[in-house]
Structures are given as C-alpha cells and as structure tokens.
Structure 1
C-alpha cells in the first residue's frame, strides 16, 4: 500500500471516530483524495503549493460546487497531517475557493498566442530535431487549434488524428460524443510527432506504461509560456482552450457551433465567452472612442 493510501485511511478513520462523519461523506472524501493522489503521481501527502495549483487546473471544467467539495476534502486532509505532526507545513492555501459568481475565463491575446507558436517554430527548426519539440508542437496545435480539454488531449489514441480526415470524434464528459475539427497545421504536427511514437503504443502521447499526465502537460505549457515571455501563471492548458473559443467567437463563429466544438452540454456555459468579448468591447469604447480624445483635448 502506498504512503498516500495509508495516510488517507488514517485520515478517514479519524473522520469517522472523532468527527462522526457519515458514510456518504467518507466515501466522497476517499474518492476525491484517491483521485487527487493519482493525478499527483502518488505524492498527495508531500505535495507543495505549486502541485496543488496544477491539480486545480485539471478541475477547470467542473462545477463550482464540485471544485469546492474537492478543495474542502484536501484542506481537511492537510489539516489532519499537520495536526498529527505528519508534515510541518500546510499547502492548502494554494487550493481554489470558488465563489458564487462565475468569473470570466482567463484568455490570451492573438499576439501572445503568436509568440508561443514562434517559440515552437524556433525549437522545431533546430538541427538535429528533438522529438520532444515535435511532441510539444502537436500538443499546442491541438490545444489551441481544436480546443481540446487537457484530459481529452493526453489520452488520445495513437491513431485518433488521421492525415486524411479533418476531424476526430471524441467521447467527453458524461459519455457524450462530439465532432472536433482538426486544422491542417495540427494534422501535420501530429503526423511529424507520430513518427517517433512506437507503433505498438496505445496512446498518441505515451509516457511510461500509460499516457502523458495532465500535470506534466500543465508543466510543459508553463515552461513554454516563460520562453515566450508570458507570465507562466497566466497560461495553462485550459487557458489555451479558452483562447481557442474566444478568438473563434471574435472571428465570427456561431455560438451553437462553438458549443458543439467545446462539448458543452448547456449553451449557457458557452455564453460566458460572449461576456469575454463584451468586456473587450467596453475596453475599446473607453480607450478608442472619439469622445475620449475630445475629453483629453478639453482637459
């Protein structure tokens, strides 16, 4: 049994004996803590703040109530570890505290995305080519070019992206299938990377005995942002998904089509991007409207 599993068991025993937690609560805590441990590679009990920030990024598509529940379970777990002297520090302040309001999604400007792709192009142009640069290119082309969720991207089968088919069919949240367009650029990037993927691999992005983890994807994206001169805390796989949606909508994409591509069950979820666009319009009015210049002249 792993160290995480042992400590989770001890924590749940305490919850039952001292806090009198109900069976359903214990079951929910066990599920949330076990999933968190798996996402962190069995390092939940020794995780640091940066690890928890990365973990929280993988919750980006979840409802606020679900995020709050998961974060609460981890806070109580770390509180138990500190109280019992099993670790000296408590990293849980790094966990999110979802509010009642729905915040506007973080996104990037077109220029910032261009800077990211310029770094990738520079790395791909090195001689000899590094297969890891080809992998990074394929990952980012699919994230920004198709708006895939991080979990969908890292678990793509080796043959998911076909060179002669400009789309792929994904089974996303709730088992719902959707058709996702794949650009020519993304298909070319995947084809270049796939030459370095073992033919017997089940995954397009293999790692060890499984596929690339969401946490590792998060780390790769952060490092790439830094190389592009963008503050790493502003960029994540989910931010690139948001950029995909925001830029498509600004370019005239239909909201229903965007809903389908993103895999949102409710169009109300997709409508958040109209608010992002609206906030940019307000900024434009406040900074570019002729009356602004007139006011400055009068002043």
Structure 2
C-alpha cells in the first residue's frame, strides 16, 4: 500500500543530509526505517497514512511496530536504533507542519552495553604487516598504512577514507574530520608516518589537493569494504580471532592509551566522541583486562 507520508520520508532524507549533515550511511538507515514504519502502519491500521496522521499516533502503534520488528529477529540494539529513527521522523513530521512534536511515550529496548575487544599491540602490528605483504603491488603498502593509522591514531575507517591528499606531507599531527563534520587533531607516530610515506611513494596515481589520500586499484576513491576484506584475509592467515576488525584497532588505540595513563577527557578528544559517556566504556574494558590477569595469575583466584 502506498502512503502519502512517504513523500515526507523523502524530504526527511534531504533534511538529514543537508541540514543535519548526517553521513550517507545514517541517512539510508534512518529513511529505510521511516518507510518500513509507514508500511507497517498501513498494514496494522488498514488505511493510508498521511503526514497529518503521524501527529496523533498512539503509543500502542509504536509498541506494535517494535514487536513486529523484534518478531522478525531484530536484536535489542538494532531495535533501539529503529525506535530512535522513528522518533526523529515523527519529530520532523510535526515540525514540517509547524507543530510542536508531541511523541507518544514508549520505552525502547535496553541496549546491551557491549565491551570492545582490543587487540594486543603485537597482534595489531602483525595484522598491519601481514596485510602489507599480501601482494607485490602498491595496494599492499596502502593497506598497511591504513591499518597502522587506525591503530596508531585511533581513526574510524570512514575517517581514514575521507582524508584528502592535501594532508601530505604528514607531520606529527593530523587534522581529521569525523562524525557530524567535527574536526579534531590526532597524533601521528613515526611508524604511521613512515608507512604513509611508503604508500605515497609506491602509489602510481597523483596525490594532490582534494584527491582522496587512499586510492583504489584503478585510481578512484577506495571502498572501505576492500580494506575489511584485506583484514579478513590477513587475520585468517595469522590465525587471529574474528573480533580483530578495522574498528577493533581503534578500540585498541583507546584501551592501550587508557592503560598507559591517559585521562578520559584527553581520550574523548582524541577519539572524537561527542560525550564523555561514550569514552567511559573504556574504563570497563581496562578493568575487565585487569580482572582477567588476576584470575589467571593469582593462586587464590
């Protein structure tokens, strides 16, 4: 069933991308949820859903949507994200009509507080070196440079892919644009700088101006999935756990800094977290590691 409110979801996509400056991935996920929600409402209520109808939805409709999604196998974290997207969409619907959002009260599933699984420094370096020796062409040097950058400077993989060639030559710090266009300065250690220099010298394409720093095999922007594939292959060859992903290298950066004495506020700035609560999870990681060491080492444990 087609619903008039679907046109509103299309406008919402433009609002998220241009006004809120959300990432393309977030826009796709949120708008897909909005369309899913509208399609469900049509089935659930047996009628077309217009944008005015979104202003008076009872909480029971949201709970029914949530129950439908959970019945389809959606986990608690994903369901919580869906509810967040639905609430944002309903707020936009109200504001689009000049109304004050009055959202129905319903409780989203409690998200499990998962702990990152950091790699040891030896495993992180071994992974980068293995990826860097996987082939004889310049792309191996590129993959090694990227992975060392994630571990050595705590970048998200999307942030590394977004670096322009204008950052060259690499100094002791690097200005990075992260989520919601927030910029931060991260340190660049010698090993990372040397790996990036080796890659730029081997790269057969010009690296200037706004050209992406990390290029694909044909000279275009690099797809992050290719880096993930390189990590999977290197991980398999080394016999490392599946949990050692590109994002786990960023977790490792944070955990190792905290273990070395970094304070939470400094770590928050280095990671580009919007709130300190996002950074505080690493204190739990460090405590978990200490407890694990104790259990394995203490004769009375």
TM-score band, normalised by shorter chain? 0.5 to 0.7
Question: Does structure 2 retain, via aligned residues, the 8 Å contact 1:162–1:187?
Answer: no
- The separation in 1 between residues aligned to 2:257 and 2:268, in whole angstroms, is 11
Bigger Cα displacement from structure 2, 194-203 vs 258-267: 194-203
What is the deviation of 1:116?
A: 1.5
Query: How many residue pairs align between the two structures?
Result: 229
Assess, with a 3 A threshold, how the Cα gap between structure 1 residues 139 and 93 changes in structure 2: closer, same or farther.
farther
Question: Does structure 2 retain, via aligned residues, the 8 Å contact 1:157–1:203?
Answer: yes
Instruction: State the partner residue of 1:212.
Output: 222
Structure 1 residue 175 corresponds to structure 2 residue 196: no
Question: Does structure 1 retain, via aligned residues, the 8 Å contact 2:141–2:195?
Answer: yes
Assess, with a 3 A threshold, how the Cα gap between structure 1 residues 288 and 193 changes in structure 2: closer, same or farther.
same
Structure 1 residue 135 corresponds to structure 2 residue 142: yes
Question: Does structure 2 retain, via aligned residues, the 8 Å contact 1:147–1:242?
Answer: yes
| Rg comparison, structure with higher value | 2
Question: Does structure 2 retain, via aligned residues, the 8 Å contact 1:245–1:273?
Answer: yes
**1:61-83 alpha-carbon deviations (Å, 9 max, x no partner):** xxxxx998577469789x9xxxx
RMSD, aligned CA: 3.6
Assess, with a 3 A threshold, how the Cα gap between structure 1 residues 243 and 74 changes in structure 2: closer, same or farther.
farther
Question: Does structure 2 retain, via aligned residues, the 8 Å contact 1:107–1:243?
Answer: yes
- The separation in 1 between residues aligned to 2:35 and 2:252, in whole angstroms, is 30
- The separation in 1 between residues aligned to 2:238 and 2:164, in whole angstroms, is 29
Task: List aligned pairs for 1:104-143, cutoff 5 A.
Answer: 104-120=115-131, 123=133, 129-143=136-150
Instruction: State the partner residue of 2:47.
Output: none
- The separation in 2 between residues aligned to 1:94 and 1:134, in whole angstroms, is 39
Structure 1 residue 267 corresponds to structure 2 residue 267: no
Query: What stretches of structure 1 of length at least 5 have no aligned partner?
Result: 1-13, 33-37, 40-57, 60-65, 80-91, 293-299
Instruction: State the partner residue of 2:244.
Output: 235
Assess, with a 3 A threshold, how the Cα gap between structure 1 residues 68 and 173 changes in structure 2: closer, same or farther.
closer
Question: Does structure 1 retain, via aligned residues, the 8 Å contact 2:129–2:144?
Answer: no
Task: List aligned pairs for 1:32-181, cutoff 5 A.
Answer: 69=30, 72=33, 97=78, 100-101=110-111, 102-120=113-131, 123=133, 129-163=136-170, 165-181=171-187
- The separation in 1 between residues aligned to 2:129 and 2:271, in whole angstroms, is 26
What is the deviation of 1:107?
A: 2.5
Task: List aligned pairs for 1:185-264, cutoff 5 A.
Answer: 185-195=191-201, 196-199=203-206, 202-207=211-216, 208=218, 210-232=220-242, 234-264=243-273
What is the deviation of 1:252?
A: 1.7
SS of the equivalent of 1:174 reads: helix
What is the deviation of 1:113?
A: 1.8
Question: Does structure 2 retain, via aligned residues, the 8 Å contact 1:197–1:206?
Answer: no
SS of the equivalent of 1:220 reads: helix
